[in-house]
Structures are given as C-alpha cells and as structure tokens.
Structure 1
Amino acid sequence: MKQLLQSLKDGATTVAEIPAPRCGNGQVLVHTSISLVSAGTERMLVEFGKGNLIQKARSQPDKVRQVLEKARTDGVAATLEAVRSKLDQPLALGYCNVGRVIESRAEGFAPGDRGVSNGKHAEIVAVPRNLCARIPDGVTDEAASFTVLAAIGLQGIRLAQPTLGECVVVTGLGLIGLLTVQMLRAQGCRVLGIDFDPARLELARQFGAETVNPGAGEDVLARAATFSRGAGVDAVIITASTKSNEPVSQAARMCRKRGRIVLVGVVGLELSRADFYEKELTFQVSCSYGPGRYDPDYEEGGQKYPIGFVRWTEQRNFEAVLDLMDSGALKVEPLITHRFAIEDGAQAMDLLTSGQPSLGIL
C-alpha cells in the first residue's frame, strides 16, 4: 500500500510502498477514501525536517536537554549516533482519515461502515476503536475528513464554557479557527474573529462572525471593546500559531473581569502577571481532541470513560462534530482549496511551505 512519509533529516516527503497493517484486537482496519492535511501541525513538521541541526535544536529545547543528559551518562559518541538514528527514521504524517471498514475486531464497527479516525495519510490504516467514529449517511467523506480538526476546536470551546449570548473572540482563522467560529455560532454566541488574511476574515463573516484585521491597521482592542458593548469579552479562544506573546497578552487586555482564555494553538507564553491578576482571568491550555487523548488505556486499550463522569471524550467529540455536519450547522465545503491524489502527496506537503494561499488540502 502507499503511505506518505517524511524524513526528519532533510524534510523530504515521499510516497512509499509498504506492507498494509494487520487488524489488531480492539482495532478496525480501514481502506482510506480521503484524508485531510492538518496545515498547522504538518507545516511545522516539514519546516522542522528542512532545518539544520542548530535550527532543529532551537525549535525543541526540551529535546536538547534530553540529549545533553544522555551525553553526560552515555558519552558524546553514543549520543550522536542515537540522534542520527532517530533522524533517519521516517515519520508517518497525517491524523484526519476517512474510509470504509474492511475488517473489524472492535465492538460497534462492522465491515462496510464508513468511519473517521486519526489515521495517517495511507491507503489502509489500523486504528483503535476509541479513535474512530461512524459517519452519518448525510455527511460526505470530504466533509467528514474535517472531523478531527473540528474536535480540537470543540474541546477548546468546552473548556471555555460559553453560554448563550456571550461574546467570544477567536484569534487565528485557520482551519481550526474557522471551524471554531461556526461551532460557537451554533451555540448561540456572538463571535469576533481576528486574523491578518482578508480571505479568511471574509469566510468568518460568511459564517456569522464579526471580524478585525490588525494587518490593515485596525485597532483590535478598540474593536473588542465595541463588540462587547464596553464590558470586555467573555472569553478568547486562541487558535493561532506564532512565537509571539501578543495573542495571549491581547486576550487578557480585551477580556472582562474573570474572563476565560483557552489556548488551542501554539503561541508565546511569556505572560504579564498584572494582566491576569487585576482581572482574575482564567487561562487554560486545551489538549487535542478531548479527554482520553494520550491515555494509553483509553486509546490503545479501548477502555471507555463512563459517560456519567466524563461526558465528552475524544470519540464523543468526533460524534458531536459529525452530528453538527449532518444537521447543516457546520459547513466545511468553503474551506476546501486543494485536492491531490496520494501519489502526489509530496506536492501537498510542498504547498504548505510555498507561500501559496491554502486552507483545506485533501
């Protein structure tokens, strides 16, 4: 089967012919029909791979500390060999997969079912049952491929706990940001979107949000004050990707007293205590698709979280997103900008760093 792989040594992306996976206990085997590129995550991986050793070290200081510790205990030569070996291992890309089940050893799935999962960009994927969800008949495969990214935004919304009529700012209108705008609108919130890209701002307006463009000289804080009728916004969900500390600082300044800030994206985190102290603001980092993420007992072992104690797990968030799509409340067709065959997967990855405008790459 074909699978998209990336070299961590030089960032090169290749379509490799590798053996198809087997269906393990508690897993489903899926023949892929389509997968979505997660532009933020996969661009970061491509840029990391293309960087030299110094650039790689600067981007991952935690890994540098681990390398230095290993060098102290194992010696420089052994550590250097281990680093080179790690960089020689290809990385499987992707985590937004849709296809049809061809074999199931998991309760609730049968051959022929259409399913969405966090499987890779590959013709066949084997995925644990808690990382899959069945697709309603009214949702197309292309639309369903946005489920995982939308679940990331949905988890940020759940942490922000918005109520009907509240004013919520979404900073960063990439795929996750634009999906988050729609879900907030579906929940009855007023939404203000912030981005530098006029095309993305236009999409946010089509989805019912008001917008502000700092790149055009618009005053974000003044616009937020007007938007919130002078009270300060109730919550800010940050879906941007930048090294700057400005998104968090800006969020704190535009919030009302005891407002909530949730970080979904990746931004600088040098915070001003005064900004948070004087308003008693709440700041929380959202973890991926929801409860269960990175818990091996849940993800690999198939252990369910009791619904009476954990209402929304990552799988249940997948299902909630699919229900929104099925009802027409979440529209993804306007977000699709490019389509590639898997044989041309390397071109899709090159697009991420080309500077050419793009959003949903299938």
Structure 2
Amino acid sequence: MATVVRMDGPGSVSLAEEPDLPITPTGVRIRTLYSGISAGTELTQYRGTNAHFVKTWDPDVRLFVPGRPTAEYPTVVGYEEVGEVVQVGPEVTTLRPGQVVWGVWGHRSGTVVDESYATWRVLDPRADPILGIFSHIGSVALNVVLDSDIHVGETVVVFGLGVVGQIVAQLARRNGARVIGVDTIPHRIELARELGADEVLDAGVGEVAERVRKLTDGRGADVALDVSGNHLALHEAVRSVAYNSRVVAGGFYQGEARGLFLGEEFHHNRVTLVCSQISGVAAAHAHRWDRKRLATTVIDLAVTGRLDLRPLVSHVMPIEEAASAYKLIDTQPDQVTQVVFDFTGTTAGDRGPVRVPQPWT
C-alpha cells in the first residue's frame, strides 16, 4: 500500500492508503524520498480559493464557465517529487534499482511510471537528492524569466521572495541583470541578499516604486516580475517600471484584483503586462523551449551549483505531520520558505529500507 497526503476539504488534511500500482513490462516503480509543497498553488487548494474548486474550466474553449467545479475534494495534490527506483519491468533497459528520479506524482510514498517518463529524469548520483523536488517549481521560475526578455545591464525588480521569487532572482542575475528583491518578510529579504540580490527592499516600509526610481537615476526598472500572488504587489510592480517597460505577472492571484488601478501608472506609462503561466512558453521561444527543456535546465543548473536551491528548504517534515505543515505555511508564512515532506521513514510493502544517496560533496 502507498501512503498519500490527502486534502479532504478547505483546511482539512489527512493521510490515506491506496493500493500500489502494478508493475508493467515497461514500468518503473519509484519509492518517494521527498516531496515539496508548492505554497502558492497548494494553499489555494487548502484554503478553498482555487478557481478549479469553485468553477468549471472548459479546456476546449479555454474559459471558466457555469457548472460543477472541475476539481473536487478529497484530492491528492503535489507536484514536486523525487524518489528512488526500486523495481523495473522486464522490458526496461535504461534504468536500474537504486537510481534517483525526479518528476511529478503527488504527495504519495510511491508510484509506477513508464520507462519513457523516467529515463530523462535521472538525477546525477553525486547530487543531493532533495534538489529533485525543484524540477517543476524551478520550471515555473525559469518560464517567468523567459517571458521577461531580460537583457544584460537591465534592472529587474522581483516582487515576492518565496521559493519562485528566490529562483527568479538568481536566474535574472545569471542573465546579466541588476536585481532588486522586494518582500515584507524579513527572513526572505535576508535570504535573497545572501543568495546574490544586488538590492533588497522591505515593502512594509512603503514607497517601493519611489525607492526603485532612486536606485535607477529616476528612470524606473526595465522589467518588474511579480511572483507574489498579491494584487497590491502587482500594482506596485506597475508603478516601479520605466516608461514603455513591462511587468511579468507570474503570481497565482486569487479573487478580485482589488488594489490594481489600471487608470494610473499602467495607462500613463504605457506599461506592457505579460502573463507567465507554466502551461505554455512564450511564442518567441516555443519552437526551442518546452517543459522538458525547462525542467532539465533547472536541474542541471542546480546540480552544477549555478543555482543555489538547497538554502531555500526551510523545513523537512515527516508526512505524519502533513496537517501541521499546511497549517504552518498558512498561518506563519514568515517562518517558512520551502517545506518538504520526508518519505524516507515510511514503509511500503516488503521492498526493504530506503537508500538515500549521499550528497555531492
């Protein structure tokens, strides 16, 4: 049996058991090592504000339409997983037990995927396995940067220094930008500074746009990237950029856009507003970039040390504390960055103990 973290309704989380999937001729059985919580998306599910839980998404016309909600409780969520191969089907030729694979299979202690899914997701054996949880959330961040069209020497302001924002800030600097990080949470501001942000601003002090202009000789930022999910931050991002500049909105906003005044700086400064969302890549890059390239690029950057992701992990908690983990993220965001479920202490049938690879040192 596999243990899963189940969301039973808004504010309600439990553990459940589900039958192990059967192995297929080309199947690969994976025992989960770690699974990261995506605070943005999963909190919308935990709080019951996610549009898919209150409205109907019609994928054919790509509209939310009246009707029964697309998603329902109870549900298993999660999309930041890494695990160890413990069994392969008789026709599998490219994988063997003991290899570590990253991917998306939800907060569950194990799964079975096809060889074609796992083959290109094998983690370097020298790497810290926990880095594997960043493949999807890192892809989200990289997609934001691709949508931003950053050039060497430009000033980029990143609003929201959670996990996505921290990765975005590092990627923007690798693109040659001067990066200004903005948040209200002290430990996230300090973390961004430690990870290389050129300037950091506490939004709680106010006058963010004014301070950005002082840092840019009155011009304003070339690009602002909002990954906070907060409409007020999006409005301040609009205020922070120069005339004829752009704002990339990568946050998962909930409810009405109160506090967003489009008749002010947005209108008078001819600001371009771009949506970045992981279901697609910007049209200018779509012939060269896809989800596979996004994910493998992030993992390669992390494994080779060009992205510093391990410091983003603030909590590693056993799955028995799943309910407490979500409550912590929901009520004490000032205490957390990336929360990770540790599955290495769980048992799953008679397949033996989990072997955790040694970090790359």
> What's the TM-score once normalised by structure 2's chain length?
0.78
Q: 1:214 aligned to 2:203?
A: yes
Alpha-carbon contact 1:130-1:315 (below 8 Å) kept: no
**Superposed displacement of residue 91, structure 1:** 0.6
The residue that corresponds to 1:5 in the other structure is 6
3-state SS in 1 of match to 2:169: helix
Q: Distance in 1 between matches of 2:228 and 2:92?
A: 37
The residue that corresponds to 1:47 in the other structure is 47
Say which of 304, 309, 321 aligns to 1:327: 304
The residue that corresponds to 1:351 in the other structure is 328
3-state SS in 2 of match to 1:247: helix
The residue that corresponds to 1:336 in the other structure is 313
The residue that corresponds to 2:227 in the other structure is 239
**Superposed displacement of residue 358, structure 1:** 1.1
**Superposed displacement of residue 184, structure 1:** 1.3
> What's the TM-score once normalised by structure 1's chain length?
0.78
Q: Distance in 1 between matches of 2:221 and 2:117?
A: 36
Q: How well do the aligned residues superpose, as a CA RMSD in angstroms?
A: 3.4
Q: Distance in 2 between matches of 1:312 and 1:343?
A: 39
Q: Distance in 2 between matches of 1:67 and 1:178?
A: 31
Q: Which amino acid counterpart does residue 263 of structure 1 have in structure 2?
A: A
Q: Which amino acid counterpart does residue 38 of structure 2 have in structure 1?
A: S
Q: 1:67 and 1:201, CA in 2 relative to 1: closer, same or farther beyond 3 A?
A: closer
C-alpha deviations, 1:35-67, integer Å up to 9, x for none? Answer: 11111222221121xxxxxxx699966459999
Where do 5+ consecutive residues of structure 2 fail to align?
Answer: 341-361
What pairs up with 1:179-258 in 2 under 5 angstroms? 179-209=167-197, 210-215=199-204, 217-242=205-230, 244=231, 246-258=232-244
Where do 5+ consecutive residues of structure 1 fail to align?
Answer: 49-55, 71-81, 293-307
3-state SS in 1 of match to 2:300: helix
Alpha-carbon contact 1:155-1:289 (below 8 Å) kept: no
The residue that corresponds to 2:110 in the other structure is 124
Q: 1:124 and 1:105, CA in 2 relative to 1: closer, same or farther beyond 3 A?
A: farther
Q: 1:147 aligned to 2:124?
A: no
Q: 1:104 and 1:152, CA in 2 relative to 1: closer, same or farther beyond 3 A?
A: farther
Count residues in correspondence: 323
Q: 1:69 and 1:173, CA in 2 relative to 1: closer, same or farther beyond 3 A?
A: closer
Q: Which amino acid counterpart does residue 189 of structure 1 have in structure 2?
A: A
The residue that corresponds to 2:163 in the other structure is 175
The residue that corresponds to 1:20 in the other structure is 20
Alpha-carbon contact 2:134-2:299 (below 8 Å) kept: no
3-state SS in 2 of match to 1:339: strand
3-state SS in 1 of match to 2:15: strand
What pairs up with 1:91-170 in 2 under 5 angstroms? 91-101=75-85, 102-103=87-88, 110-112=95-97, 113-127=99-113, 129=116, 133-170=121-158
What percent of counterpart residues are identical? Answer: 24
Q: Distance in 2 between matches of 1:358 and 1:283?
A: 30
- More helix as a share of residues: 1
Q: Distance in 1 between matches of 2:83 and 2:237?
A: 39
**Superposed displacement of residue 218, structure 1:** 4.3
Alpha-carbon contact 1:30-1:126 (below 8 Å) kept: yes
Q: Distance in 1 between matches of 2:195 and 2:35?
A: 24
Q: Distance in 1 between matches of 2:173 and 2:90?
A: 38
